[in-house]
Structure 1
Amino acid sequence: MGILPAAGSLLAIIFLLHSLAPSSSAHRHVLRPSLAAGDPLCDIFTGFWVRDDSYPLYEYSSCPLIDPEFNCQLYGRPDSDYLRYRWKPAACDLPSFDGLEFLMRMKGKMVMFVGDSLGRNQWESLICMLSSAAPLSPAQMSRGDPLSTFMFLEYEVSVSFYRAPYLVDIDVVEGKRILRLDDISKNGQAWKDADILCFNSGHWWTHTGELQGWDYVGDGRGYYEDMDRVVAFQTGLRTWAHWADLNIDNTRTRVFFQSLSPTHYNPLQWTNPVSKNCYGETEPVSGWNYSGRSTMEECMMWAVRQVVGSMRTPAYILEITGLSELRKDGHPSVYGGDLSPEQRADPDRSADCSHWCLPGLPDTWNVLLYTTLFF
């Protein structure tokens, strides 16, 4: 087994910053909706959070499928102001989410989220939003691994989640997990029939130690004990993009790729922190800017834009990173049902500042998805 440059390699990062510089084609699929006749195209991802007491878009008690780790109100979160913020683009207004319109326009079709637990976060959010619009409509739920599906039977609309944290395949050889940067055929087979595909990936590529999801990396030329994680991520993305170009019928299927969902573990990145992480935060970061991105995260976001921009298949990047960075208040912290009483009493070690409460921020991601689909 060989070893390529370790994660965080300065030379690799410098190389990537140069190799990922924008080209003439790098942004040709970065689209912007026009939200009203005669309006200029609007950047719906640049704006600010405003208080709106008509929110949330649904109640946790009316959506029993929310996983315990996202169900903050059920598991004792004492504050609720984080539920009452609406995203306001600087140059326009987002349309109100209309769940019935979504179901009618998607009649007979399949929406599929593909990726890690942040994709599952968004998948459950969309089901809750649609269910609240059609509470008496018959539905059917099938949970599995890697594929789970919620079917709105009256509308013949299925909303699925396919778990694939790296998108590319993982093979087991002689008891060892091989992350196959050059192969996506096993996972991709399940995605071909979807009408809307929304991909996300990123967080699992940086895990080390017990959280690492593979034992070796394979790239078609050899197997490695480790390699620069940004290089690995970009290589896997290119395999995903090649699969999409060969297998997606873009006259039928819309493809989305969600930018990185941020974490809030370092309170030095915002003013007046109340704890050692997101625990106890009840308001968004004020202003427009947030300085919490690492160099690795910046490189990974560049990789997404470069790879998506080079695809023949039109793909839309949902740029949710910046608006989500402002929401230090939106994480489950210690109010998730998968924590023990001892863990809940030790927020310095146990707070979940990666995932998001439901109802909460992923509802806005789905409003943005709805906007790009229909406006």
Structure 2
Amino acid sequence: MSLVVKATELEVKPWLRQVDLRSVGAMVIGLVNRSSGEAARDGAHQSAGATRAAAVKPVIVGDVDDVSVGTAMKVFVIRMESMATEAGKTVNVGDKNERALVSFNVTVNGTMNPIGIQQVHGIGGCDVSRGNWVHDDSYPLYEASSCPFIEKEFDCVKNGRPDKDYLKYRWQPLGCNLPRFNGIDLLRRLRGKSIMFIGDSLSLNQWQSLTCLLHTAVPTAKYTSVRSGELSTFTFPEYNVKVLFSRNPFLVDIVSTSSGRVLKLDSISLENQKLWTGVDVMIFNTWHWWLHTGRKQAWDLIEEGGKIIGKDMDRLVAYEKALNTWATWVDSQVDPAKTKVFFQGVSPDHSNSSDWGDPKAGSCNGQTEPLPGPSYPHVHPAEKVAEKVLRAMPKPVQLLDVTNLSQLRKDGHPSFYGLGGHRASDCSHWCLAGVPDTWNILLYADLAGS
């Protein structure tokens, strides 16, 4: 049984003229005709629902030697082998300007390269995950001192960090240029809307970055900042824009019982579901708290399917189960026509310098410059899991692909110039101004291009 996708000529977007398609693994933009493809697509999704993408086994039957950049891009025939589709079902690509909600593999020089039409690594088709940090005298985009609401733990300058070069780096992807952040433009685009960061303190890091970027753009505009429990709300009344942060380190539930704190891998509380419903833009994040052990571990027992399965388990396996629970909620509850969903990606720490090939350095302490790009020596294992889950989702979710670019910034952490000072080095969070500003440039680039 197979789903045959017949490719036609597609219009090349302006940014594609700057892209060497072979160097980034033959990036392919696909647009699917709903009228002819809906039945096959929906059938595939229903079958894959329980096991996510496991039912689909993509096989390439064309070649990419003729893929080139010009006024049009020729793509090729792909056969999607799937238990969920009937033989010979045909989808015409390129008719209706609608995204195909499937992923496929492209053979380039004998190797299989995963390409998601949702562009898991891309913003509008540009692969932003590989590049270099370049010195830019126009940076930083703001002074932390101009944003009195920034948490003390992130204001490295105020905390006495002596070096300043870490403030002067701009992320430059290999294949394209990112727009400069335009806070006034973003506020106008978000007028009357809400944007929420949901996750741990790395989401707080990004939320604080965005609020300062926006405040810097409209320094005389009134704002309010209110915290109620685990929800913080930053409002620009003039634009009727709310920028929210909901502290939720696991996305799934932890419940206190007589037996202890129970981590429920397949449960999202009605309270959180209600909080997320109706938000216009959501950026989810989870990873760091899955690593904690000992006194910092947030649970005593783990539950799945209504049964306690133990006190602990492989953390990556648990992480994937929780992400699939979150993905199921997004797939069943989010209307893409009304709500844009992002996953922040995994923010790396730099606690062990052996990870970047310099065991004598120890950690992020004393680091003053980035690593050279375009890629970090290894792919983060949690990022692999996150991408696997995202690729299997029927509903479009955009990955803010911050992992590789952040892995290169061993110099960007507070280290001794955070909350703990010289008593406790912080190689997990990020100085502001700093790396999270680039995460928000990626966010802005996607929202501005939507």
Query: After TM superposition, is the score higher than 0.5?
Result: yes
CA distance in 1, matches of 2:57, 2:164: 42
Q: 1:247 aligns with which of 309, 328, 333?
A: 333
Aligned 8 A contact 1:179 1:214 in 2: yes
- Who is 1:316 aligned against? 398
CA distance in 2, matches of 1:333, 1:113: 24
Gaps of 5+ in 1: 1-17, 35-40
Cα drift, residue 85 of structure 1: 0.4
CA distance in 2, matches of 1:115, 1:22: 33
Structure 1 residues 233 and 63 mapped into 2: Cα distance closer, same or farther (>3 Å)? Answer: same
Q: 2:184 aligns with which of 100, 103, 108?
A: 100
Aligned 8 A contact 1:82 1:330 in 2: yes
- Who is 1:10 aligned against? none
Cα drift, residue 21 of structure 1: 11
Q: 2:174 aligns with which of 66, 84, 90?
A: 90
**Cα RMSD (Å) of the superposition?**
2.1
Could you say what secondary structure the match of 2:261 adopts? strand
Structure 1 residues 325 and 22 mapped into 2: Cα distance closer, same or farther (>3 Å)? Answer: farther
Cα drift, residue 286 of structure 1: 2.0
Aligned 8 A contact 2:420 2:426 in 1: no
Cα deviation code 1:167-221 (max 9, x no counterpart): 0111111262111111113322211121000011111112111111111111124
Instruction: Please tell me the residue identity of whatever aligns with 1:30.
Output: Q
- Who is 1:8 aligned against? none
Q: 1:214 aligns with which of 282, 288, 299?
A: 299
Q: 1:44 aligns with which of 125, 128, 142?
A: 128
- Who is 1:76 aligned against? 160
- Who is 2:38 aligned against? none
Could you say what secondary structure the match of 2:341 adopts? strand
- Who is 2:440 aligned against? 366
- Who is 2:11 aligned against? none
Could you say what secondary structure the match of 2:198 adopts? strand
Alignment of 1:118 onto 2:202: yes
Cα deviation code 1:293-329 (max 9, x no counterpart): 5xxx41x222211221222221011111111111000
Instruction: Please tell me the residue identity of whatever aligns with 1:358.
Output: L
Structure 1 residues 269 and 311 mapped into 2: Cα distance closer, same or farther (>3 Å)? Answer: closer
- Who is 2:383 aligned against? 301
- Who is 2:416 aligned against? 334
Between the aligned residues of both structures, percent identity stands at 47
Instruction: Please tell me the residue identity of whatever aligns with 2:278.
Output: D
Instruction: Compare 282-291 and 20-29 and name the one that shifted more.
Output: 20-29
CA distance in 1, matches of 2:201, 2:55: 27
- Who is 1:234 aligned against? 320
Cα drift, residue 19 of structure 1: 7.2
Structure 1 residues 48 and 209 mapped into 2: Cα distance closer, same or farther (>3 Å)? Answer: same
Alignment of 1:29 onto 2:133: no
Aligned 8 A contact 1:238 1:307 in 2: yes
Aligned 8 A contact 2:345 2:399 in 1: yes
Cα drift, residue 277 of structure 1: 1.0
Cα drift, residue 271 of structure 1: 5.9
- Who is 2:347 aligned against? 261
Written as runs of structure 1 = structure 2, the 5 A alignment for 1:108-187 is 108-174=192-258, 176-185=260-269, 186-187=271-272
Instruction: Please tell me the residue identity of whatever aligns with 1:278.
Output: C
Cα deviation code 1:133-163 (max 9, x no counterpart): 0011111111133211100110000000011
CA distance in 2, matches of 1:232, 1:81: 39
CA distance in 2, matches of 1:112, 1:361: 19
CA distance in 2, matches of 1:307, 1:86: 30
- Who is 2:287 aligned against? 202
Instruction: Please tell me the residue identity of whatever aligns with 1:318.
Output: L
CA distance in 1, matches of 2:54, 2:192: 42
Aligned 8 A contact 1:148 1:160 in 2: yes
Could you say what secondary structure the match of 1:143 adopts? strand
- Would you tell me which structure has more strand in proportion to its own residues? 2
Aligned 8 A contact 2:131 2:373 in 1: no
Structure 1 residues 308 and 292 mapped into 2: Cα distance closer, same or farther (>3 Å)? Answer: closer
Q: 2:431 aligns with which of 337, 340, 357?
A: 357
Aligned 8 A contact 2:287 2:319 in 1: yes
Could you say what secondary structure the match of 1:242 adopts? helix
Structure 1 residues 204 and 96 mapped into 2: Cα distance closer, same or farther (>3 Å)? Answer: same
Instruction: Compare 311-320 and 365-374 and name the one that shifted more.
Output: 311-320
Alignment of 1:188 onto 2:273: yes
Cα drift, residue 66 of structure 1: 1.1
Gaps of 5+ in 2: 1-52, 59-79, 81-101, 104-115
Could you say what secondary structure the match of 2:184 adopts? helix
Aligned 8 A contact 1:273 1:281 in 2: no
Could you say what secondary structure the match of 1:127 adopts? helix
- Larger Rg over CA atoms: 2
Structure 1 residues 286 and 240 mapped into 2: Cα distance closer, same or farther (>3 Å)? Answer: same
Cα deviation code 1:212-266 (max 9, x no counterpart): 1111111124112111111111111111011111211111100000211111112
**TM-score, normalising length from structure 2?**
0.72
CA distance in 1, matches of 2:57, 2:374: 24
CA distance in 2, matches of 1:243, 1:360: 33
Instruction: Please tell me the residue identity of whatever aligns with 1:104.
Output: R
Instruction: Please tell me the residue identity of whatever aligns with 2:395.
Output: T
